[in-house]
Each structure stands twice: as structure tokens, then as C-alpha cells.
Amino acid sequence: MANRSPLKKHRLFYILLLMTVLLIGLNVRLFWIQVAASRNFTDRSIDLVENSVIQREQGIVLDSGRGDFYDRNGVALTGSVKTVLTVFPVKEHFPENNLQLRQQIAQILHVSERQWQTFVESLKSPAVWTANGKPVQLTEAQIGQIEALGLPQLAVTRYKQRYDAEQLASQVIGFISQDPQRITRQFTDQIHKGELQLTSKIGGAGLEKTFEPWLQGLGPTSLSLFTDGLKRPLAGLAARTVFPDNSYYPLKVITTLDASIQRRVELVMDKLHIQEGAVVVMDAANADVIAMASRPEFHPEHVDLKQGSWSNKAVKGTAPGSIFKTVTAAAALEEGLVRPGETFDCRGELGKYGLSCWKQGGHGHITFEEGYAQSCNIVFAEIAERLDGVKLEEYAHKLGLDVRVGWSGRFMQEESFRQWDSEDKGQVYAGATPKQDGGVKAQTSIGQRDVLVTPLQAANMIVTLLSGGEVASPRIVKEIRFGNGRLMEELPAHRVEGLPAHRVEGLPASLSPGTSKTLLSWMEEVVDHGTGSGLQSAHWKVAGKSGTAQVRDKQGRDKVNQWFIGYGPAEMPRYAVAVLVQNVTPDEKSTSVPLFRQVMDVLAEQPAKGAND
């Protein structure tokens, strides 16, 4: 036993020595991590100091960093900036029994003490003070009073709100939403670079969707407050704002819209209680869209995909009714099948195909020219019998119908970029419709049966006539600029690409200037003594064509689409306008003519240079 005691002592010595070495090594390692390697720990470059700070910070995003839309005059359409109160959920300085402080803050914000207390107690993360769900803009007096309190959990900040409470051109702008599947499918590179996450919001419709690649920013602007484990502000660490320091981003998307005109057009639609429909206002010189409004109303922060109010009616095809008689008249004049002064006999019924005139008893003896002004169905049904059904379709193409007319082409890295989201092509005939059938031609000639036209196409048809037959491609965006205002890329105005020069042998590529001029003069007669005579009280002389299409709603009930398309002023056209009041009862008084007149009155008040700036 005496021989084993020294051995035990040696073992204990070595064990203690080993433990001492391990403890020293561990301390050295911790020292190295904290001091020497904190900014570049392991081959993954993990910043331990930064991550330890993140664990004790509470942050809020004040600006997502996404690019914004502007009108043609530089007025912001998205991204309004407000000076707001940001509140952090910390208890210090907000004890339950500090009634005086609570009352003081409530008095500054012009709310009850109970409202303020409820807001503070509900906080689980930093939040902006709101009223009715919207951030509240602080006054200069409120800013000074809040800052004088010196409370670390109250911060006066600049907050960027993507959409206004009354968002202009909401269906045109569209909305943003989470779409992990689309991010994975279309933006793989951005995920790898860390620019997007599966939870990121991207454009779901409208310009937000089509211009998504150029709207993505370099990162958000956020405000953080540093706290300890009990969520108490750390002494010496004030709130810190973090933002990407790059003057080129986010980008600015400059549209062709005029915010002032857009706002007044939407007010006109609301005044007339338009429940469903659209208005398109174009620059008569180049087809730039100056205003575009769609109903039902929609706000980008309240998207109901099933309800469908987010869909832009201005680019969706629907039955055009008699505005399509412009196509039939163009085909008849160009083919030399009818003389303008040729007389027809309208007795109210065609006598076949179940087709009748809108005027009970008919128009009697009426010329082709007067038939257009009075929108006589019998005149156009008889003319359709002389027309080749295929040529009727060809002339629709000549006027920019049955084709997506919206601006498309090469843009930066995109070979076939389209500005307009989900623009319909429209149609003249359905796929298997017999184009030479007499009844088909008669119904088609007056814009019924299979015919579908979008308000965008309808307004553009007016611009086509005003330009002597050249089909322009309507723009809604004209350029993209860097954050500092420098030009990045233009989207120049151009004609519609891909229109067939001729599907029928010998058919010219575009409508002749002479026929265009004739149809424009007939549109003046529509207002002078035809179906548009209610427009004679407009602020300036206008011209156009009315249309009423018989349709059925989703429940199978009889409805009508009310149209009016035209231009003004008649002497020197500056604007082309299409209005659609959709799915109204057949006996309801026409709203399309008053809507057209009031939109034109808005335009008449614009400076003469406004349409071509």
C-alpha cells in the first residue's frame, strides 16, 4: 500500500495539470474570439460582435428600399414620406402608475390617455403610431414636444409609405405581395445574392409586376434601439439608423401619367357613381397614356384576388357595340363598296338574323354618312353583306384591334418586354366562327357576337385615325432614372410591331389618310346632330362615336356596355379619350356621354402645352 501512494499523487498532479492547460486554452480561445477574430469568425465570416448586438436590438423598417413611380412632371405616385412617431416596446419611463407622463404624451398626440396606453401595452415589436390603420404625420410642434421628452423609446422618424390612402391609378400601379414560388422561379440570382428572400414582397400586378426587376432596391432603411435581456435601453447606445449608402438606388420609374388629370378623372367617375368601367386619356400626338382609371375601386393594401377589383378594366376586352362600326365603315370606304351619300332604307328590322335597329320604327331613308352619325344598325348590317368577312378582320387589325397594342419591344436585358400587365388581345371572331356567314357578318359589323375590344385599343384607334392610319403603341412608362435623377434608360414611343402588312393579297398595310379624315369628320357629325348631341355643351368642340353593346353578366342577366370614344378639341386635337360604363341595366339612362363630356371638360382646362410635354 505504501508503494502505491506516490503513484496516486503523480496521477492527481497530471490530471490537475491537464485541466489547467485546458482552462488556459479555453480562455485563450475566448479571448481570440472576442478580440482578434470577432469580425471574421470561421471560414463563413461570421461577425460575432454584430450578431451579439443584433440579439439585443429591436428594429423597424422605415423604407423597404423599393423604387417608386412618378408622373410625367416628376410628381411621386408611390412612396410618400411622412414624419412619424416610432415607439419601441420597452417599459422604462412607462411605469403603469406614471399617469402624468402618459397624459402628457397623449396630449401631444391629441388622443385620449386610454388610447395611448392601449397602443403601448399592445406592442410586441417596434411600431409607428397610427390612426385608422395609417401612419400619422406629425406637426412641427409635435416633433419639438416629443423630442423634448428625451425618451429613448420614442423616436421621430421619416417613414416611407408605399401607397397613399387615396392611391391614384391604383390598378395601373398594381400591388406588391409575397409570392415564394415566383421568387424561386424567376429571381434565383437575387436569392443567392441575398437581395431577396422567400418572404420578400414583389410585384403582383400592374407596373409593380412588369417593372419588378428595376424596382428591387439594395436593402431597407431600418431603425434599431439596443436593449438588454429585460428590454431596457442600454446606456450609451442610442437608436441607430441603417441604410444602403448608394445615390443611384432606388430607381425612379417615370410614367406618362399626369397626376393632376388622373386625380380629376377619378373624381369625375366617383361623382357619376361609376360602379364598373374604365376611362383612358391619350396624348393625340403619340398615344402616351395621360390618365387611366378603372372601376370597381381598389386599394393596393387590400387585395382580394377572388373579388377582382385589382384587375385593370382598361386593358380587358369586352363587347364594344357600335364603336366597332368605325371599323366596318373604314372597310367599306377603303374597298369602294359604298359611297358616303348612298341611301339605305331603315324600317327598324333587317328581316333576317333577328337583327333590328335601336330606333323603334327605324330611321327611314338614310345615307351611309348619316347612318354612322345616327348609329343605324340596318345600314351597317346591309353593308356587311357586301364585305368579305376576312377583310373585316383585316381592317380591325389596321386600326389596332385584335392585337396587343401596348408598348413592347427590346428593353435593356429583356428581348420582348411588355409594359402593360395582362393586356388582352381582344378579338373579332372566335376560333371556329364562320367568317363568311351572313348572320355572323351582320352581328360583327355592329360590334356584337364575338367582338371584344379593350378601352386602351378603343382610345388608340382614335389616335390611329388622327395620325392618318399609323397605329402607335401606347406607352405608360417613358423612362427610368437613377436615384440621383440621372437618366438610366428611355422607352421611346414607336408604332405597334408585328401587325401583318396584308393577310389578303393586295391589302395595303395601313388605313389611308383620306379614309381616316372622312371618319373623323363623321365623328363631328355624331356630336353635331347624332347620338352624341349631348356633348354640344362641352367646354370645347369635341367629336366621337357612341356604342351600346348587349351583354350578359355572370348570373346570365341582360346588361349593356355603354361606350363613347372620341377626341378634342375638334379643330386641333390634343387628346383622344375612351370611356366605358360596363354591365348596366338596359333601361338605365346612358352615363357614357356625360362621363365623356366631363372628362373632356377637365382636359379643356389644361394648358395648351399639357398634352405634348
DSSP calls for 343-400? EEEE-SB-SSTT-B-SSTT--EEEEHHHHHHTT-HHHHHHHHHHS-HHHHHHHHHHTT
Q: Which helix (H) or strand (E) holds 592?
A: helix 592-604
Asked if 597 and 534 count as a contact pair (C-beta separation under 8 A), the reply is yes
Query: Hey, what amino acid is at 459?
Result: A
What's the sign of the alpha-carbon dihedral 397, 401, 404, 409?
Answer: positive
pLDDT tens for residues 216-247?
Answer: 988 888 888 766 555 555 555 567 788 888 89
Question: Closest Cα to residue 428, out of 403, 405, 406?
Answer: 403
Angle between helices 99-109 and 113-122 (to 10 degrees): 100
Position 156 scores a pLDDT of: 94
What's the sign of the alpha-carbon dihedral 325, 570, 530, 586?
Answer: positive
Position 51 scores a pLDDT of: 44
Position 35 scores a pLDDT of: 55
Position 510 scores a pLDDT of: 82
Q: Which helix (H) or strand (E) holds 85?
A: strand 80-87
Residue 178: C-alpha distances to residues 1, 60, 429, 605 (Å): 78, 19, 38, 42
Cell of 355: 337583327
pLDDT tens for residues 404-445?
Answer: 999 999 998 888 899 999 999 999 999 899 999 999 999 999
Top mean-pLDDT range of 81-90, 106-115, 123-132, 314-323: 314-323
Question: Closest Cα to residue 199, out of 179, 222, 221, 175?
Answer: 179
Position 229 scores a pLDDT of: 57
Cell of 403: 392585337
* Preceding peptide of 95 cis, ω within 30°: no
For residue 57, the cross-strand partners are 226
Q: Measured between alpha carbons, how far apart are the two ends of the chain, in Å?
A: 109
| pLDDT of 503 strictly over 50 | no
pLDDT tens for residues 2-55?
Answer: 455 666 666 777 777 778 878 887 777 766 655 554 445 444 444 444 444 444
| pLDDT of 260 strictly over 80 | yes
Asked if 68 and 76 count as a contact pair (C-beta separation under 8 A), the reply is yes
| pLDDT of 160 strictly over 90 | yes
Q: Could you tell me the strand order of the sheet in which 543-552 lies?
A: 289-295, 277-283, 575-584, 558-568, 543-552
Angle between helices 592-604 and 259-271 (to 10 degrees): 150
Cell of 127: 411600431
Position 211 scores a pLDDT of: 97
| pLDDT average, residue stretch 105-131 | 91
| pLDDT average, residue stretch 459-476 | 96
Q: 32 in helix, strand or coil?
A: helix
C-alpha to C-alpha distance for 93 and 233, rounded to whole angstroms: 10
Position 55 scores a pLDDT of: 41
pLDDT tens for residues 205-214?
Answer: 999 999 999 9
More confident residue, 126 or 20: 126
Give me the residue label for grid cell 424567376.
Answer: 186
Residue 188: pLDDT band (50, 70, 90) is: confident
For residue 551, the cross-strand partners are 559
Top mean-pLDDT range of 96-100, 553-557, 579-583: 579-583
Which stretch of 18-32, 121-135, 146-160, 396-410 has the lowest confidence by average pLDDT?
18-32
Looking at every residue in the chain, the average pLDDT score rounds to 88
| pLDDT of 507 strictly over 70 | no
Q: Which helix (H) or strand (E) holds 523?
A: helix 513-529
Write the burial class of residue 558 (CB in 10 Å: 0-12 exposed, 13-18 middle, 19+ buried).
Answer: exposed
C-alpha to C-alpha distance for 176 and 300, rounded to whole angstroms: 8
Angle between helices 377-386 and 438-445 (to 10 degrees): 130
Residue 257: C-alpha distances to residues 148, 262, 348, 467 (Å): 43, 7, 44, 21
More confident residue, 218 or 321: 321
| pLDDT average, residue stretch 345-352 | 88
Contacts of 446 (CB under 8 A, 6+ apart): 321, 322, 324, 325, 328, 355, 377, 380, 381
| pLDDT average, residue stretch 88-97 | 61
Residue 358: pLDDT band (50, 70, 90) is: confident
Question: Closest Cα to residue 151, out of 239, 221, 64?
Answer: 239
C-alpha to C-alpha distance for 566 and 530, rounded to whole angstroms: 14
Q: 421 in helix, strand or coil?
A: coil
- Can you list the alpha helix ranges (DSSP code H) found in 437-482? 438-445, 455-466
C-alpha to C-alpha distance for 239 and 49, rounded to whole angstroms: 17
DSSP single-letter state for residue 33: I
Position 194 scores a pLDDT of: 72
Residue 471: pLDDT band (50, 70, 90) is: very high
More confident residue, 414 or 283: 283
Residue 191: pLDDT band (50, 70, 90) is: confident
Asked if 266 and 293 count as a contact pair (C-beta separation under 8 A), the reply is yes
Position 313 scores a pLDDT of: 98
Q: How does 163-176 read in b/e, with b if 16+ C-beta sit within 10 Å?
A: bbeebbbbbbbbbb
Asked if 120 and 179 count as a contact pair (C-beta separation under 8 A), the reply is no
Write the burial class of residue 496 (CB in 10 Å: 0-12 exposed, 13-18 middle, 19+ buried).
Answer: buried
| pLDDT of 525 strictly over 90 | yes
C-alpha to C-alpha distance for 406 and 288, rounded to whole angstroms: 10
Question: For the chain, what percent of residues have pLDDT higher than 70?
Answer: 87
DSSP single-letter state for residue 198: T
Which stretch of 89-98, 242-251, 294-303, 341-350 has the lowest confidence by average pLDDT?
89-98
